[in-house]
Structures are given as C-alpha cells and as structure tokens.
Structure 1
C-alpha cells in the first residue's frame, strides 16, 4: 500500500462551526478538527500530504466554495481529498445541503452548499483517486428535520461520486456526533486519533480500508454512531499516512489466529463472502469463550450493530448471555425488540438446552405450544434434515427472545439474500410456522415470505 504522491496530491479541509444566523447552533469543535486533522495528514515524517498543498476553508456562500474546490483540484493528478464538517440537512427536493458560514435557516436551500455542486467540483479534478470525508453533525434544534428515520444511508447515498472513496460520520438520522465539551466531534476525533496514533499490530501504512475498519470499531466501542463508506473506485488500498504504531516484529504470524480487528472487519464487511463472515463470527465467539476480553468486547459491538444481519446479532446476544454478560446481552436485544429482558434470555436458554432424548424434546415442544415433528411409527426416527432441525431451533430462539414476526421475517430474508442460504431460510420459516401461538395474520405473513424465499 502506497502513500499519495505529495507533489501531485492535495487536501481541502472545509469546516463551519460559527454561523451568522443565530438560529444555527455553533459547533466549537470544528476549528480544532481542521487544525489537528491537517497536522496529522501533513506530519513531516508520517503524513501523506505536503502542507503547502493543503488548505483549510471556513466557506461562505458568497465565496463560491465550489469554484474554490474545483480550482484547487485542477492540478491534482494523484489523490484529491476533500473533508467537510458542519451541519447538514436534506432540502425539500431531497438533495443533501451542507451549511456554510452565511447559510440561514429560513433560506437553507438557497444559501447552503448543494451536494450536487460539490460533486461536480470534485469530479472536475483529473485526480486518479478522489476521497470525500463528511462529518455532518445533525441537531433537531439547529435545523428543520427533513430526514426520516428510514433514511439511515441518506448521507452516503446523496454523496456518491463516480470513482471515489466516500466516508461519512454516521447514518443520516443520528444526532450524537458532537458531544458537548469534547475537543473534537466524535467522528473526527477518532479519525485524528487513528491517523496520529496509528493502529497497534496494524500494517506499515494506514489505507482507507484500514482507516474505515478502525473507525468503525472505535466509534461503536464508545457508543457513537457507526461510520458509513462507499468505494466506487480502486482507492481503498491507498494509504493516507504511515502507521505510527507499526512494529516490524508484529509481522510474525500469530499462531492463535488473527487479531480481533481483522476478524471483526470480516464479520462487518457486507461485501465479504457469507461463509467467511460466519467463520469469522464463530472465531470471535470461540475466543470470547476462552476468556479473551477483547473478543467479548467484539461480541458486545456485534450484538448492537444494526447494520449486521439479525442472526449475527442474535448469536452475539445469546453468547453474551451464556458468558454471564446479561446486561450487555439485554442491551443488544433491545435493538431488536422492545420486549428485551433477562427473562427472555432465560427462555431462549431453556429452548436451546436439548433434553437427553428425542422423546423428551418432542414433549418439550408440545408443552411450549409448538407443533412437534411427526414420528414415523412412533419411533425416534423423523424425516428431518440438519437444516430442518436448525430452522426449528433458530425459530424457537427468536420467539423466546420476544422477536415479533416482522423481525423474524427480516432475519429470514437476510439469511436468504445477504447470507445466500435459501435452504436455511426456508427451514427457519417452516420452523416458525410450528409456533401455535401465531395469529392468523402472522401465519399469512410467513406463508408469503415462504413463497418469496422458495421462488428466489
């Protein structure tokens, strides 16, 4: 992984923390964001950029910021990095608007920086690598709320630029990006930390992919919104800085397997092959069972990571409860059901604790008001595949955890589509249909999803 070619690269750091309009809340951390991020990127020994080819701007609409960005990118042939920190909102026509120092609340659409204009300015550059980093802080008190709760990826989708690597601070409906009294905004603070302090046991240079993985891990571990990314080009392996924490001795392979960061990255990467994601999750679980605290932390983060498939979350919740981390398990379960409780976890344990004989298990199903599999000639043998049994156990666990039918259906659809296992998805639906406590409406919902999954 190489660093940018300094003579052919440039960084433009834009930030707005002070507004002419008193209706827009100040973000005192922005100036510190810009100064310290610039210092990390242009560090004489470790930075990937030349300080003379980097510029900080507190843009005003009257200054024509898009023209300035286009002008600065004109002589860039290698990497053109643009960073913005400030408030952002969606206009009435759906376009993302970045606020400027002279943006007014009443005339947001006419005095803000439209994302389409910034996109054009960045695309004017003939740089091989274009990078856009957005730390957009939202505040319900600062701007009218146009974003809906279902617009979790609004920022990243609105900011797409052909051939660019884009990194955004959070889902568009999150508001906790700028903790009061902190030196930096949450996202940029961790960004600066990683660039300045490095990644222990990491590679010699910090690529954009390495940066995203470290940000994702650290932000989630500190209960901040998780970052978002999109890579429409080949920039992800290009480095921004040298890794100050790099230790050549750590290149010796670890006989105990990859470190937690590597495994978590494999689990969290939706582009990774499904089986590889599952294996990585199993490795994290096994290491957590062996008492390795880092991997218990990983389970905590997976349990609350709503970007992951529900079955990954469910598994992490269940494993945490088995390890005695009941409070953490309930916290994870709360992201899936408002009926999360320690009692629900106990019921899940009971449902998945198999009796010593098949007959006892069948009786247990009947006692819980579930249709037990048919026994041919009253013998132990049943016409059930391993997938069928897995589906029944998974269905019982989800229902014991108080997941409603919509959450169960979402888990099934993710299993069929994102995790590419139609057989297990079908078996899980069939397992769910054994629950006699279902309403007629819930049964029809399951029948519909079974038809869809079977066809797919």
Structure 2
C-alpha cells in the first residue's frame, strides 16, 4: 500500500554540479542546473508536492565538498519520516573501485580527498532517524552505490543493508550516464520528472519502472534500483504538476553595444545632477555671504564664479567626449567574453577572455570612495564586470580602475565597466547565466562564499 511522506518530518537535499573548475577534464553538464530546479518545483509544488519548500534544500553548486556534506548531515539529523538525497553530476571511481560524487572543488586525480564518497554518504543515511531513506544518483558508475547501500558483496564489507532504504541510480556499476546534447535535462532525470508528472501518484517502485521503460525505449542504459523493507511503496508526487514552461531557443551570443553619440548623451545625462549641485553652491554661497554681511556686492561673485565653473565643466566635458571610443561592444558567447573598442584615430582594440581561463565571474560595485553612490546612474554605470582567472593566465593590469588593489592581488581582473556598453547589472548577469554555468556569482555574498580569502572591506 502506498503512502505519502509527512512534509513536516521529511527533509531533502538536491545536489547538482555542472561545472568542475579544478578538473578541466570533466565536461560541463549544463542540463544539471535544470534537473535540480525542476525537481525542486515538483517536490515542493503547493498542490502536488510532498515536501515543504523550507525542508527541500538545493545545495549551492559552488560549495565545498565539506559544505555539501554538512547539508546532508543536517538533513539526516532532522528527518524522522523521509530523507531524500539527489545528486546529478560526474561519478568518479578510484583504484579500489569506490564511487565518489564530484563537486565544484573535486580534483579528478584525487577523488578520495576532494569528492563526496558514497560510503560516507551511506553513513549519514544509516545514522538518520528517518523511517524511509531515498538516494537518487544521476551520474556515471552510479550503480556502484547499490553495492554500498545493500552490503551484498559490497565494496566495504559489513557496512550495509540499511532498513527502509530505496536507492535508484541512472546506470549500472560500470556504465556511463547520459546528458544528450541540446536536451533540457539529463536522460535519467528527464525520465524521472516525466514519471512525477503522471496523472496519478506513483510509488518509488512504479517511478522506477516508468523511468526504466522510457530509457530503454530510447536505447539508453537501464537504470538500477534496490529497496529494503517497504520503502518502494513511498510516493513522491500527489498527481500531475503543471508542465514547466518550454525553454526558449538557445542563443549563440549576447551583445551589448553603444556608439559615441549614445555615450555622449548618457554622459550629459549623468552630469546633470552634479552640475546642478555645483550651480546651487555657486549661487548659494554669494547669496549667503551677502545676507550675513549685509553687503550686496557679494552678488557680483555669482556671474564671475558661475562663468568660471561653466568654463571648467565645459572643458572637462569636451575632453571626456573626445576620449570616448567611436563604439564599444561586449560579446558574451559560448567560448569567451570579448570586448571590442572601435576608435577613429587610435585604432581598434580587442580583449578576449576564454571561459577555460576563468574560474568565476560576476559584477561588483566600484571601489568605495571612487564614485558617489548617491549619484545613482553614475554609480550603477561604474559597476565592474570582474573575472577571477585561473593560475598563470596572463592578463593586463586593472589597478586604478575603481577596483580594489587587494582583489587585484588575489587574481581578480576587471573586464570593463558595464555602463560603457549601455548595460545594467541584471542584463549582464542574465547573459552570463546563459553561457558561464556555475562560474557566475550574482552577489557580493557569493564572492565571499566562493573565495574565503576575500574580506568584505575589499569591495
């Protein structure tokens, strides 16, 4: 007889790792991000889901192996009805045949010390007070987890057979798993999501049979499963969920471009507020002194100082305008971030930074004190497109570009100020999300979490 988990007493951790900066030999898996997002929506849907949103955690893909382990241990300690652990990414096997789950910090040549060991994962599952423990693995060699979880001829003798456990894996112990080019999800998770959308609730056993039938019909490896006690009778959805909106057609590149005329218009618009403040000071001070001294002669200072300030500001505007390039263009595509500067006299310049050279990328505010945050348009336009380069990658110096010297010393470099391309922070980050995968950091807090060497005072 099937049953639904108790949302208040159940916990889930969804782990999806699509980018492996420490192991360039491990291919990126962009479909994994959609895997995790869509599975979370199914499990926490108001009508059809079986978990409370606050009890279904998506692990930060940029987290360290230790941080992901802590999230699993916390969920295992809190769950008393169902504990669900889902992983999608790369599976690695050491020379003793032990399975490891790759994380953002994994080195493929040393998985024992840098990846999440399934035998340790099993300890958390076994130590949990949950009545049902569900492990779903979508990775190569994932079938080895069944050996670890059941104990029959297992990799570590005597570790095993956890009561109330259901293990489902995308493939066998010695076969690859598939993420087919151009598809929204990996093959296994796509079939799993389709099963969760069934018109009637399906138990884990029924979900497995549906997934196996779908993959076999496509000529893909058959998934594996193993259940103990009555775990197979657990249902993970209460009925069909609303289908996900179809993905938009993938684009090959995103371009941000601004010509000199537009740049001049924007510069004049940005200068209105500071010019207004200067004008108020030029007029206000003589009026104030005239009133305090009861001497109207102070008012003659208004045209004198006003004319002088106007001349200076006009000269500055002219010089800045002449220095503007004819056209600036930022291109973000599948291979690199590229900046083009087209000038009438000094020639053209191009700066291309390939993704293979970038550890992570994001948008940071200018260095404190270099731009007044109260000048909103000016401040936002001077936000910086910043990359953290991999070791030994040459790059021009970005000192003096309203950028922290401390960040420069840590290997961070400025690609450009985003306002020079007529873009804002949200537009740049949206473009990066399409091509940079887990390299993208959206907030200052994410920079701090990704790189423990960074201190808040460096921003």
In the superposition, the TM-score normalised over structure 1's length comes to: 0.48
In the superposition, the TM-score normalised over structure 2's length comes to: 0.47
Higher percent of residues as helix: 1
Higher percent of residues as strand: 2
Larger Rg: 2
